[in-house]
Every structure is written in structure tokens, then in C-alpha cells.
Amino acid sequence: QGTTRTWGEVASERGHAAPTVVAMGATMHRAGQLRDVARGYDLTLIDCPPRHGEVQRSALMVSDVAVLPCGPSAADAWALSAALDAYSELTWPPIPRARGHRFRRDVTGDSGARGQAFRRT
């Protein structure tokens, strides 16, 4: 999806420190690879595409925190369902602190007039 790459580009354009972005191919989620890449950083974000169960499962297995965004459409809910299925299928013990939180897109500034006002502040 490239969301993380875009965030880095926007940060750089605005004079902020840009994060290191490592683009990973479809096979980079094999055993040990994500942990090996993450060892070189204080904080690691893994931006997974929806409906790629094996990739999502691998990312969840090495994560302390998982953020599973969901837009307001049925297609978004279906994609989230696939991610939740990947989480529930883990053979590794589940993340002990896992909690669900809901945030409304129109309130956080991602759409409409409220979004424009939010981005300007």
C-alpha cells in the first residue's frame, strides 16, 4: 500500500526527521526475517496490505502492538475480518495486552471538512 513510505516522504518534505523505510517483498516474512530487520531499530512499524494472511500473521507474531485500521465500507470490514482471522489462527501465544479501540475516521481528520481543518492545525 505504501502508506508508510508516503508518511516518510511527507515528513521529509516538511523538514522533519524521516523514518527509515524498508520495502519488503512478498517473501520477506519468512521465519526470523522480520525480527532480524527490526533489531537495528528502536521502533519498528510493519505496514501490511489487507487480505495477505501469511504476511499479516508473520507481522503479528513479532509485534508488541497491532493497529488494524478499518474504514466505513463493507470492503474495509471484510479486509479487517481477514486480519482478525490471521490473529486468531496464531499458534504463538496471543499478545497479552491486546485491546480493541475504535476511532471514527471523520473525527480524526481523514475525510470531509473536519479533515481539512484537522490537517491545517
Cα–Cα separations (whole angstroms), residue 66 to 56, 59, 83, 102 = 10, 9, 10, 13
Say how far apart CA 93 and CA 78 lie, in whole Å: 25
**pLDDT of amino acid 29:** 65
pTM of the model: 0.54
- Residue 86: is its pLDDT beyond 50? yes
DSSP class of residue 23? -
If pLDDT is split at 50, 70 and 90, which confidence band does 118 have? very low
**Domain spans, the chain:** 3-120
Better-scored residue on pLDDT, 17 or 62: 17
- Residue 100: is its pLDDT beyond 70? no
Q: Give pLDDT tens digits for 30-83.
A: 767 777 878 888 887 777 776 677 777 777 777 777 777 778 888 888 877 777
If pLDDT is split at 50, 70 and 90, which confidence band does 120 have? very low
**pLDDT of amino acid 78:** 81
Cα–Cα separations (whole angstroms), residue 43 to 19, 46, 51, 71 = 10, 10, 25, 26
Say how far apart CA 87 and CA 60 lie, in whole Å: 7
Closest CA relative to residue 1, chosen from 31, 23, 18: 23
- Residue 88: is its pLDDT beyond 90? no
Handedness of CA 63, 10, 104, 2 (dihedral sign): negative
